[in-house]
Amino acid sequence: MSKPDFTLEQSIHAQGFLRVAGVDEVGRGPLAGPVTAAAVILNPAHIPEGLNDSKKLTPKRRAALLDALLETAEVSVAHASVEEIDTHNILRASHIAMLRAIEGLPTPPDYALIDGSMIPNGMTIPAQAVVKGDALSLSIAAASIAAKITRDLLMVELAQQFPGYGWDRNAGYPSKQHREALQNLGVTPHHRRSFKPVHNILYQD
Residues making up the binding site for a divalent metal cation: 24-25, 115
CA–CA separation, 70 and 73 (whole Å): 6
Q: Which residues carry a binding-site annotation? A: 24-25, 115
- Three-class HEC string of the chain: CCCCECHHHHHHHCCCCCCEEEEEEECCCCCECCEEEEEEECCCCCCCCCCCCHHHCCHHHHHHHHHHHHHHCEEEEEEECHHHHHHCCHHHHHHHHHHHHHHCCCCCCCEEEEECCCCCCCCCCCEEEECCHHHCEHHHHHHHHHHHHHHHHHHHHHHHHCCCCCHHHHCCCCCHHHHHHHHHHCCCCCECCCCHHHHHHHCCC
